[in-house]
Every structure is written in structure tokens, then in C-alpha cells.
Amino acid sequence: METLKQTMKNISNLTGEFKDSALEYDFHSYMLQETISYSRRYILTFGFLFLLFFIPDYFLNKDINKLIIIFLIRILFLLVSVLFYLHLPNMKSFLYLFSTIYESIGIIFLWALFLSYKQPNIVIHQQGLIVFILAIFLILPNSLINKLFLSICLTSGFFYIAAIRKTISLSSSSVGLITFTLLIILFCAFAARLINQLQRAQFQNTRALERLSTTDTLTGSYNRMKYDQDLEKEITRAQRYNLSLSGIMFDLDNFKQINDEYGHLIGDQVLIQLSSYIKRIIRVNDRLCRWGGEEFIILLPNTDQEAAVQLAKRIQNYLKNTDFSPVAKTTCSFGVTSLIEQDTVNSFTNRLDQLQYQAKKRGKNCIVSQ
């Protein structure tokens, strides 16, 4: 409940989107794959249903020429649906635009069908109008503003055609039909807004759970599980595309002595301050992971060993010139390596561990690379 309240605070009242554009982009990416999967099925299903509505057309329209035109319109919309079904996976970056174009084409076809009737029955055709309004709100992902705009355009065009064809007048029953249709749009908009809020609350809950499962709560760096996951992906990518990949494992020297002399809270502050500095100087695609206790690993994609050693020296120099009050100074021992052809997650990490251990044996406060 608290997450839903927080989500509603973060959502713009006008558009139903997150006020933070970066958060909105993340939500869009989060929903994209599943959305495309079910939307493709719905597009194809709706195209066939639109064709099957030719059955009531057959009973409502006795003019064979009009029936042929109606059948061709329905077949053409099915072909358009198949075309959109095939190309939807390639339109991830323009999904809302893609949806709007498809729904606009559907609206034009629905108007054309209505015009194809010599004496259309307004009550029966209104049922088709309502089905199409439901499709606009339920079948394809789109912004709430676009859905409202399209449904109002569809309804306005429908009743305008009815007026010029003299199948509707300013009678109480006609006003009732228009009012009922507008209430359907209002209900759909309300339901779509509520679903949208629930989806965004679920998204924020998922993000929070992912953050808890992959982040070290003390330092805010990634944890060991996240390191293993990312290293496996980076090794696969590096081996496939012949890219470099390096890592730095470092361990705070004499950290137990700091905890014993100053207390664990001061020791925690040292870890927080050091990890905060490293997160500021590494690149966006680099990952700082807390391996355990006072041990950390920096995963460096697209980085050769020489550049990794230079980063280790930069951290070493920072430690040399930083006062971790009340701890005067502290140092680290570094192990640095780069990916070799036969490496796995275990072999890469074990080599880092051995190199860092050698740095400890050489007297600490040094960098050993291989």
C-alpha cells in the first residue's frame, strides 16, 4: 500500500507517467518485452475477430456489392494486422507511435465500414464501436492521453457519420447512445489509469527487491551474487566479440586492527568512504562489488591490464593522501588480472584472489598483476 501511495506521488496527474524521465524510461524498458509478446498475439487475434464480424454484416446488409466492399475492408485490416504483427518486435523504440498508427488505421476502416451501409442500424453499429474502444484501451500499449484522444476521435467520427447519413437525430434515445458511449470511454480511462498505477507500483517493488538482492547494504556497492552474474555475462561477451576484460581485487590491510582499536562502526565508515570514492572514479559500465568483509572486486569491461593497474595505482594514491579520521591512514593490497582465452568465472576470480594474496605476502600496500 505504501508503495502504491509513493508511486501515485511520483506519477504526473496529466499523463499518468513518472515525473522522473529516467524512471519512466526504465519502466518502459521493463514492460517492453512482455508487452510486445502479448500485444503481438492480441493484434493477430483482433484482426481475425474484425474479419469474423462479417458474419453479422451478411445478415444486416443484403446489397451484394456493399457486402463485397465490406469484406474487402475487413480482409485489408486483417492484412494490416498481420503486417504489424510481423514488424512489432522491430519497433521497440517507437512502440507508442506504432500503436497509435495501427489504431488510427483501424478507426479509418471502422468509419469506412459504417459508410458502406446504405441504412446502418445505429444501435447495432454502436456495439462494434464499443468493442473497438475496448480494443484501443486493452490491446496495444500506449499512453493514456493517446488512448483518450483516439477513442474520442473514433466516437466523434462515428456519430458525425450517423448524423450526415440521417440515422441519428437529437432525440432522447440518440443522446442516450452518445452519453452511454462517453461513459464507456470514461470507465475505460479510469480502469486503464488504475492498471497503469498498479503496474508502476509493481515495477518499483521489483526494482527495490532487485536492489536488495544484488546490493551490499553497508557500502551500496554490488554484492558477491551480482558479481558472479555480471562476470559470467562479461566473459561471454568478451570472448564472443574479442574484447578485453580486467578485474581488480583489493583488501584493506590490517583491517581487523582498525576494528579492534576503533570499533566496528569506525571500520564501517572506512569501507563506506573508500567505496564511495571508487564509485565516483570508475565508469558507468564498471562494477564495484564487495566480495566479503573488507575485500572488494572492481570488474572492468573493455579494459586492458595496463589500464586496470593504473586504476589500482590511483586508488592506492588516494589512500596514501586520505585521512580516515579517527583512523589516520590505511592501505590496500591489490591483485590485477585480465581475461585469457580459456577463463571461466571461477578461474578468473581465483587468479585475482591468488594475486591479491601474493600482494599481502610481499608486505602489503602493493599491486601484483598478471
Helices (H), the chain: 2-10, 21-52, 54-60, 64-87, 95-116, 122-138, 144-164, 172-214, 224-241, 255-262, 264-281, 305-320, 345-361
Domains and CATH numbers, the chain: 2-211 (no CATH), 224-369 (3.30.70.270)
Q: Is 306 tagged catalytic?
A: no
pLDDT at 140: 80
Return the pLDDT at 2: 45
Which is catalytic among the residues 294, 295, 306, 341?
Answer: 294
- What pLDDT, on a 0 to 100 scale, did the predictor assign at position 59? 84
Cα radius of gyration (the chain):
31
Residue 139 DSSP one-character state: T
- Which residues pair with residue 333 across a beta bridge? 251
Contacts of 17 (CB under 8 A, 6+ apart): 11, 24, 143
Place of cell 488505421: 105
- Which residue ranges of the chain lie beneath pLDDT 50? 1-2, 4
Rounded to whole angstroms, the Cα distance separating 182 from 134 reads 12
pLDDT at 85: 86
What grid cell was written down for 100?
A: 497509435
